[in-house]
Chains A and B, each alone.
Chain A
Amino acid sequence: MPTLYNGCGTSYAGKANPERHPGVCDGCGHTGMLDQYDTRLCVTILFIPLIPFRRLRILDECPRCKRHRAARLREYEMNRQLAVSAALTDWREHPGVEKAVAAHQVMKAFRQQGHADLFMRELQSRFHADARLKAYHGTMLLEEGRVDEARLQLDEALKLQPELAEARVPMSRILMHREDAEGALQMLEFMLHPGSSQLHNLGPLEHLARWLFVNGRSRDALRLFKHLVEELPAVAQVPAFRAEVEKVENVTRSGPTILPPKRFSMQDVLFGTRAKQSKWALFIAVAAVLFVLRNFWLAGHRTVHVVNAFGEPAVLQISGGRTITAPPGRSTFTVAEGSYRISVSGPVEEVIPVTVQTDFWSRWSESPVWLLNPGGAAVLMENTVTVSDGLKTVPPPPKMLVGERFVSRSSVTHLFRELPERVQLKRGQSVTYRQLTEYEGPMAEAVTMLAALNPRSALAVAHKCLQQNPGDALLVNAVAPLLQDEKLAAQHEAFLRPYVEARPVSVEWHRAWQGAEIPPARCEHFVGVYDSLLRDDPQNAALLYLRGRVAPPAEREEWYRRALEQEPDHVWAHYGMAWHHRSRGEDENALRHLETALKKRPRDETMLIMADQCRAALDPNAAAVFMLNDPAMPPVRSFTRAVLAAALFGAKKQVVQARLARDNFAGNSNRPLQVYLEVLSLYAEGDHRNALSFVQGMAEAPDQLWFDLKLAAGKPLDAAKHLPPGDAAADAALSLALAFQMAGDAAAAGTWLRSGIKALRSGDSDEVLLAGLLEREAAPSLEEVQTASVYPALKALALASLAQRFPDRAAEYAPAARRLSAVPLPPMQLVRQAFAKIPPP
């Protein structure tokens, strides 16, 4: 049958030499004229038959359901002609009724209705007194659904030969059709004689029995069934026959059953009436055997994954004598289920007890994983994600497995594989993925990520990783935020003690340990630690520098100086001094120390930026020229330096150079970043209106930019809307306080000032000191403010704020504040406006 899908596929094209003949459709049972014709099968695209590829003769096409047969036209035509002519030749050679009937049957088989009818007319005139021919003709007519014509022929046949079985059987069908039960029974009476099964096919009798039962003549039906059982004992073993007889017996409620006991027959089971069930049973049995075999095979061939994080092969000796070499990276080996002791040698010497076991049923359904991690060197990450209706639910935190030598999980869907980005699910369906993978990123990131979810676990992971790699300063640094909890801090100190005492002193490690912002309470702790260390090694420049980091602000310069005395080119001591000077606005001194430090660490970005800022504060033009000529500029590609460059050139109206610097950093394709730099240039020029219009044109302008520009434009209320929720940072709060103060909103200014002070109090010792000064009733001296070693912008804001409160000291504060905010970046404009609005005393 040709098939089209969306107008494409195959179809018939054309209809030639059509003929019709009566018949019954095999598909729907429709009785009527069926069609036949020649056509062509074509490949069809968009309902247009394009490529013809086979000529066909369509046979028996039902006008109602269109079911048909198709034969290749040439072959069919040849077979038809040869078969019909052979049958006719045979008949001409032996012109009896048998051969004539055979020839007519061939014509009918090839649907030669016209030819067959003509031939039958010829036969009827020739053998007009032959009952068998009339019986045959009647039967053919009956099969074509021409019941009345069939009856005429059969009547004539029975008149000629009343006992003719070939006429009685079709006549019984006609009588059944006319619901003449008696007549039908009478017609098939000859089949009820003993031994009739050896002379006749008793199929019509069974048909009549079923028909009688359906038409309420159960006793007659039972009589016929009884005869069938007697004549054909084998039929009584056919389940369908037995069921039919049992139904009849139930209705008639006759005495004992006519059915013999059911007999088992292997032949019947395999090839007889029960063959279909047997085939299924055999298929199911074989499938069951195969599934069980798979189960046993799985039990004997379990894959153990090995993650060897060492750079050299590990030799694994499995109890029982097998030795395997696990190369660096991932590998596998196979063992039968059971318990083993695996001796690892090579990069690490240890014995790992391993149990590889699952229960019988779960072997088919689960995907267990056994993972061997020699030395526990690899960090593993276990993730369980449940997805419902296409959306990932909030996943529980990934579990980091650090230092575990052997991991056994009953079901893992994604082993060393990424979880899918998208999942197609049906409504209401949910799916759970279990991922087990090797963590390959920096451990610091992992710990930071984990710390947000589970600090205790993060600390445990960090400790395990530090055992593997104690010098990982980033990791040490990542732990610092966890140490607000005293218990955790104590635990951490106890763990790190051996590493703190390690020599040579790694300043990076110690800086990371101390943290970027050291709260006063921790400072006291660190003072004790470093004093203790310095007692043993008083001339260690690194320790002196580190001791200076935790010293009170006033003493800090002294410690750095002592460190430089011990080691004049100590990078970190110079850096400490530079920071100290920079926070006081002494940019010249700061730059000197930084240049010394940068000789040893020329690519240290922090130091480079600080040096740029110092230069910018001292001489923006020179700074700009220096940055343009700085060979480190393009490769560093630091956003901060690019921002600074943009601001510097903008401030000095050197737009062309600004663009040059901007493009040098951002490239021509990064449009949002270009706009961002353009805005900063305008800010530096003080062109707030244009800057704001640029920001409005940005697709996703950062809140910080909005905040700074709104403040500079004198709109603190609008600026406040762009603060992130929660407690504001100290510099933001102080900026707002200043802006509200300038706008005349004293109440708001007070509120934001208190908020800023609060933020400062939660910071390091310098910020705490600054908070104290801002809270004082009396105006602090400039020197007191300069003692706090905070970053210049914050100190400038603090000075501006103090100048607002104490206008009489504004003149004292103003130069320092101007120096501290010399870099043309926020809050430069705010600070300048604040001092400009203070009336002269």
Chain B
Amino acid sequence: MTREKFTALVTSLDRRYARRPGALKRVTLAWTALGFAGFLLIMAARVAIGAGLAVIGITFDDHGGYVLFLLGGALLIAWGLLAGIRHLWVESAPPEGVKLTPERAPALFAEIEQLRRNIAAKKLHSVLLTGDFNASMYQEPRLGWLGFMRNHLILGLPLLDSQTPDEIRGVIAHELTHLSGEHGRTGAWIYRLRKSWSGLYDQMQQRQGAKGRKRVLEWFVNWFWPRFNARAFVLSRANEYQADATAARCAGTDTVARSLLRLKLCGQRLAGEFWPQFWKGARHGGTAPADVLSQLAGFLASPHDDAEGRLRRAAFRALTTNDDTHPSLSDRWRSLGLTPPGPDDPLPPVPAPPQLTAARAFLGDALDTLRGETGRTEQRALTARWAAEQKWAETQSRSLAAGELAGTGADDEAERLWRLAQNCFALGDEQRAADLLHTVLASRPGHARSHLSLAAHLLEKDDPAGESHARTVMEADDALAWPAAEMLHAYYARVGDSNALAALQRQMDQLEKHQRTAAAALGKVGSRDQFQAPALEEADLTALSLTLRSVPGLRQAWLAQKSIPGSPRRLFVLRVAGHGLPSFNADMGLIRRAAAAVSLPGRLFVCSGRTAGPMLAWKIRKAGISVA
């Protein structure tokens, strides 16, 4: 299913079940049942054959002869069962974090217990404290997709540091709603199934790519997965709205709205300010700081500088996409009954840093100890990342120095400058990098990688100038088109340009289709293909002729180009003919010599009349040109 169709399906489902969450759940469950039925039906083929053998074995009259049937049946049944379990297996690991206990954080547990009763949520098995700026509910299945869950509430200490106690109450209420009777069990189950099916779908996609053919199971998964996913996606999103509504009921609508805005702004600040600065420290050497969580707390306690409203506007402008079940800030505000500010409306004030943070209020005296423990659990990953950043910086510096030393005498100046630009980006010298890329584009306007780097640099800053660079890449280089499209997609979603986003999705669908077709066309040459005269310059053809003259045993050669519509990539087909008596083996030797000698700006397939078959040989000769 294309993105466009998927988006249309999600939109239509959203509209159809907007006020009927129960119906949506039932429909999703029906699709789940359909998925299971289809899957089991296909997987059951082995089991069914095995069961057939087993029945023969069980009812076989001849004494002794039944054993083979029973063993054969057992083998097939076991194989079928294992394959089924493997396909539907949900990988799960217990979440990591510092386990909180009522003794260490009585206020937090009292709050959670009260909220749990209000919401009628299920029992929590643990509350974990991590170093993430996030809160989540993690359900760990103990019996795969059959369930038997352990429920973990995961609270990020930086999140607790950034929010007021009231706001965190809303956050916890939101998470506990996922465990409530309304959509707890079913929602979690569907969520897990979605994950399993997604894994299965990816697996099938890879297999299709490898083998180039679809089997019944693959066909079914390809058909079922996007349809099920659309419904499960809409249900998950509906659950998010419902969780927000519950949170508003528990903590107050204004509090939840403020909490959502604060979360968004803090997230943007952390990504835009704190972490870049932090990793810049790694590039300057030294060891990883041991108090990153304290640094984070300090940063989050500092006032937000958004006098111009750039961050807030960006937060409200972002669109809800189908990449995440969580809706955009504007949609979440709307679902709470509030009106998000339009492009020209006055913005709500930046939430002031809390006087009393939720961390202090709920964790009390244990906060510092817990911060230390949480920091220690995070430290290993942080140290590794720190070392990696350091190494990366060293490499980039060395590379930058080497590139600069190479000077302008290098074989490919554009390539050298592009590399230098990459090094500059890595070392944080963005201005120089941009200048270098512009220099490259001045000399080689079609240098796709420079366009892509510039697009990434500009779009990250929500600069519309990056758009044209990304579009140039999409048109010029099919290998880089996809990352360019994804950059644009994220950009349009961020800036809220829904029309451009829809148009881009259509383009991405087309691109995906073209790339798939082109990849298949570039992978083989056959007599059913269409050919044309090679699109080569005269100098290239002359060079080719000279090269072919030096190939021992070659008498004659024709060059054609395979017609691959919609792809800039070229596939040349060279038909060669040798001296002497006709022989398949002699032809193969000649082909190998020619293939090793010839170099063309594209893929090359060398064949002879005998190895290619008469039809292909005739087509090459008819459409191509004589080059030797």
Contact = CB atoms under 8 A, between A and B. Distances in A.
Contacts of B588: 16-17, 38, 73, 77
Interface string A193-216: 111111100000000000000000
Nearest to A298: B58
A501 B143 CA distance: 88
Contacts of B524: 78, 82
A81 B143 CA distance: 50
B74 A17 contact: no
Contacts of B388: 198-199
A279 B78 CA distance: 7
B74 A287 contact: yes
B70 interface: yes
A88 B599 contact: yes
Given A194-B383, A279-B82, A86 B74 contact: no
Contact of A129 (B57, B77, B402): B402
B584 A55 contact: yes
B585 A16 contact: yes
Nearest to B412: A95
B216 interface: no
B602 A266 contact: no
B589 A16 contact: yes
Contact of A271 (B57, B89, B591): B89
Given A17-B588, A282-B81, A283-B74, A95 B604 contact: no
- Which of the listed residues B59, B63, B411, B599 has the most CB atoms from chain A within 10 Å of its own CB? B63
Contacts of B565: none
A196 B383 CA distance: 9
B51 to A, nearest CB: 9
Interface string A164-198: 00000000000000000000000000000111111
Interface in B344-401: 380-385, 387-388, 391, 394, 398
B596 interface: yes
B78 A199 contact: no
A491 interface: no
Contacts of A74: 611
A94 interface: yes
Given A85-B600, A96-B419, A282-B78, A290 B70 contact: yes
A161 B398 contact: yes
B61 interface: yes
Given A77-B611, A195-B384, A270-B89, A297 B58 contact: yes
A66 interface: no
Contacts of B383: 194-195
Contact of B525 (A78, A114, A194, A291): A78
B292 to A, nearest CB: 14
Given A81-B595, A294-B58, A195 B387 contact: yes
Contact of B585 (A38, A88, A115, A279): A38
B73 A290 contact: yes
Given A267-B91, A270-B89, A290 B585 contact: no
B54 A290 contact: yes
A287 B384 contact: no
Contact of B415 (A16, A94, A194, A297): A94
Interface in B600-619: 600-606, 611
A194 B611 CA distance: 58
Interface in A375-402: none
A82 B522 contact: yes
Nearest to B394: A163
B77 A82 contact: no
B615 to A, nearest CB: 14
A94 to B, nearest CB: 7
Contacts of A129: 402
A369 B89 CA distance: 49
Contact of A94 (B63, B73, B449, B599): B449
Contacts of A301: 59
Given A81-B604, A194-B380, A194-B383, A14 B585 contact: yes
Prevailing SS type, chain A contact patch: helix
A293 B589 contact: no
B66 interface: yes
Nearest to B60: A294
A89 interface: yes
Contacts of B77: 286
B583 to A, nearest CB: 9
Given A81-B604, A271-B89, A286 B74 contact: yes
B70 A198 contact: no
Contacts of B411: 95, 126
B75 interface: yes
Contacts of B71: 287
Interface in A91-145: 92, 94-96, 112, 114-115, 126, 129
Nearest to A17: B589
B592 interface: yes
A86 B589 contact: no
Contacts of A92: 601
B387 A199 contact: yes
Given A199-B388, A287-B70, A294 B82 contact: no
Contacts of B571: 82
B523 interface: yes
A290 B57 contact: yes
B144 interface: yes
A303 interface: yes
Interface string B49-92: 00000100111010100100011011101100110011001010
A270 B70 contact: no
Contacts of A114: 596
A96 B571 CA distance: 23
B55 to A, nearest CB: 9
B380 A195 contact: yes
A683 B384 CA distance: 121
B534 to A, nearest CB: 14
23 contacts: A14-B585, A55-B584, A73-B588, A78-B524, A82-B523, A82-B524, A82-B525, A82-B603, A82-B605, A85-B600, A89-B602, A92-B601, A112-B596, A163-B391, A193-B387, A195-B383, A196-B384, A266-B144, A267-B89, A282-B78, A287-B71, A294-B57, A301-B59
Given A82-B524, A94-B415, 9 more contacts: A16-B589, A73-B588, A114-B596, A129-B402, A287-B70, A287-B71, A290-B74, A293-B58, A294-B58
**6 interchain residue pairs of minimum CB distance:** A195-B384, A16-B585, A287-B74, A198-B384, A85-B604, A367-B63
